[in-house]
Amino acid sequence: MVTYYPELAQRVRSQRDLQPDLYGDFDFNRQPERLATQPGIDSDLPKWVADREPILEDDRVTELIGTATMLGDVVADPYAALMTAYSVTHLIDMLKTACREGIDAVPDAPPELASFIAAMEAAPAWIDFGLVRDGARQERIPAALLAPFITRGAFVATFTNAYAALPMALTGALSGRRAAGGSTRRPVSSPSPRCPERWSATVRDSRRQPWSG
């Protein structure tokens, strides 16, 4: 029963309307199998990290976890689903063009791409760009020293995760021109501390591709 997060629950249920071929008659009200809400059973949460009991006793938190577990990317997933109509290469090329030159530069751009780009360009009203500037300034040195190792470590960890490694292997994201390995050599970017207006461009440059890890 949804009590605390009705808008999030509605967003979850909307996935069936947005992608009926994918979700069909899937019941979004059922509890996810991997959600361990019973005390005393095995869990991926190590005991040395936190006690599960206080978390399980908080109805608001458990509802949020259960609801969010059923939520995919309602913006990117419909575009990724176009793989049945377009080749993966063509979808990526259209996305790159839209990110670099704008949606109008993509001939016959599918509406799913337009929605995807619009969502990435929208800067949430709650973002405080003053804090963005301060954070970017303070993180310059740690980012320069640690980011290369963290990024490469995360890439290596991909191979231990079947959810990420299999799609990457199937789509060629581990080899060729657009190999994910090339991404590990690029510097990690963040919104400019001096120019918050570049927020949209920064988000676009991240090239959030739904089929790659």
Mean pLDDT of 16-31: 87
How many CA atoms lie within 13 Å of 174's alpha carbon, on the beta-carbon side?
Answer: 12
Are the C-beta atoms of residues 140 and 190 closer than 8 Å to each other? no
Q: What pLDDT sits at residue 147?
A: 82
Q: What is the pLDDT of residues 134-170, one digit of tens each?
A: 999 998 998 888 888 888 887 777 676 666 667 777 7
Instruction: Report the predicted TM-score, pTM, of the whole model to 2 decimal places.
Output: 0.61
117 closest CA partner among 94, 137, 135: 94
Mean pLDDT of 12-26: 89
pLDDT over 50 (residue 48)? yes
Q: Which residue has better confidence, 71 or 210?
A: 71
* The dihedral formed by the CA atoms of 27, 30, 31 and 33, expressed in degrees to the nearest 10: -60
